[in-house]
Amino acid sequence: MEVEITSKHMIKPSSSELHLLEPFKLSLLDQLGTSMYSPGILFYAKPSDSNINGSQFLERLKQSLSKAKTQFYPAAGRLKNNFFITDFNEGVPYAEARVTGRLSDFIEQTDNVEAMNRLLPCRPFRNIQDPTTPQLAVQVNIFDCGGIALALCFFHKIFDATTVYAFLNSWAAFSRGSNGEIPNPVLLGASSRLFPPIESMPENAAMKSLFFNDGRCKMTRSFVFDANAITTLVLKAKSKSLEHPSRALALSAFLWKHAIQASRSVSGTLKPSILFQPVNIRPKLKPMFGLAISMYDPVGKKDIDLSELAYLLREATESAPNDPQVVLQGFKTMTEQFSHVEEMVSNGDAECYLLSNWLNTLDGKEDFGWGKPTLKSIPGIDSQNREMRNLLYLKNARLHRAIEVWVGYLVQKYL
C-alpha cells in the first residue's frame, strides 16, 4: 500500500475573536493525563447515490472543521506548562493523501497495524514533551475507489472518549449543514472548576516510566472474541461477590489473567500485578474521567482465579473517587501511591498494565454527508512506534456482539 500526501493545511477556527478569550485551564485530572496522541480512524465507502463529488466533500470537510474548532476552541490552541491552553487561533494540522488500492480490500485486513498507522497524521502512543504540540491532527486518506479513511490523532490532555464523541458529532453536524450544537457544553468548562489545576505538578505524578519504555515493545497483536467466547468468560467470572459481571469486565479479567501468566512465563516468578483503567465519572459529576487502579497480590495463592480478578476490577471502578473534595484532599496520597507503584515496577517487583475500553464510544452515526462509517478502528503499536508498553484496547468488532482486543505487550507471544 502506498500513501502519498497531496496537500497540507493549518485549519484555523472560523472565528477570528478567539484570541480575546481567557486561557483555558486544565483540570487536575487533565494535568495527570499522559502526554500522548490517541488515534482513531473512520472508514467511509463512496456513496453510490451521492450528488457530491470527492472534491466538494473535502472542501466541506475543511470548512466544517473550522467551525467545529470555534466551538471546541481549546482543541485549536497550544498547551503551556501543563497548566493551561492558549493561542486558540493556532489551528489544527490537516493533510490529504492518496492511497493505492480499494477501501474494501484494506478493511478486510484490519489487523495490519503497520498499514493502519500509515493513514495517521502523526505517531500515536509516544510520550510528547514539545509544548507546541497541537491538540488535534487530521489526515483524510482517499482510496482509488473513492472511499475515504478519516484519521485523527487526539492529544490526551483534553480529549478522552466522551470528548472525542462530542467533537466528532459536532464536526459531522456542521459538515451536513446543521448547526452542530455541542451535545454536552459542560465538557469545556466544568472539570477545571471542580478540579482546579496546581502550578507545580510533582514529577512522579505523570507516571511516565509506567507507561513508556525504551522501545523494547513488540508489535501489537489483534484478537477477536466472538459472542460465544465472551458468554463463556462471563460465566467463569461470576462469583458470590460478583453475580452479574459485564461482557467487558469478564474479558478484561481474562486479559489481565493471561498477562500475569505471560509475565510469570518470562520471569519465572509470579509478581504482584497492577492494572490501570480510565473511568468515566461524568454520570455523577460531569467533569471528565478518573483512573481506577486494581492490584493483584499472588502471595499465598496457587492459581490465578478469573472471578477474583473480575471482582478486583469491579471494585476498583466502583470505588474510584468521584467527589471533587475527596480527589483534591487525597492528591498527595495518590501521588505517593503512584510513586510507590513506579518504584515497584522499575525494580522488577511488579508488572503494570493500562486497559482502555472504547466499546460503544462512537455510535456509528458520524455522518459527514458521505454516509455512515463502514468501519471504526483504533490503530496500535508497530515497529516504528514502540514507546507505549503493556497497553490493552477493547473495541467493537465487525462481528455481531464480538469484541476486538489490541495488545501491545513485551511478552505478547505468550498470550
Coil, strand, or helix at residue 102? coil
DSSP 132: T
| Largest interatomic CA distance in the chain | 68
Beta bridge partners of 136: 154
Could you tell me the pLDDT band of residue 238, with boundaries at 50, 70 and 90? Answer: very high
pLDDT at 144 over 90: yes
* 375-to-41, 109, 174 alpha-carbon distances in Å: 8, 12, 21
* 378-to-92, 101, 189, 368 alpha-carbon distances in Å: 20, 21, 27, 19
pLDDT at 176 over 80: yes
Mean pLDDT of 11-38: 82
Q: What pLDDT is recorded for position 284?
A: 42
Q: What pLDDT is recorded for position 383?
A: 58
Task: Say which residue the cell 498507522 belongs to.
Answer: 117
pLDDT at 327 over 70: no
Q: For the chain, which domains are there?
A: 3-194 (3.30.559.10), 205-414 (3.30.559.10)
Instruction: List, for residues 123-132, the tens digit of each pLDDT value.
Output: 888 778 777 8
CA 412 to chain centre: 20
End-to-end CA distance of the chain: 29
Which of the residue ranges 322-331, 337-346, 358-367 would you say has the lowest mean pLDDT?
322-331
Mean pLDDT of 27-50: 80
CA–CA separation, 161 and 289 (whole Å): 9
Task: Say which residue the cell 472511499 belongs to.
Answer: 147
Express as a percent the part of the chain with pLDDT over 90.
30
* 412-to-219, 268, 377, 391 alpha-carbon distances in Å: 9, 16, 21, 11
pLDDT at 115 over 70: yes
Which of the residue ranges 97-101, 161-165, 324-328 would you say has the lowest mean pLDDT?
324-328
Instruction: Pick the more confident residue, 43 or 194.
Output: 43
Instruction: List, for residues 59-78, the tens digit of each pLDDT value.
Output: 999 999 999 998 889 999 99
227-237 and 306-319 helices, crossing angle to 10°: 80
Q: What pLDDT is recorded for position 26?
A: 81
Mean pLDDT of 175-197: 64
Express as a percent the part of the chain with pLDDT over 70.
76
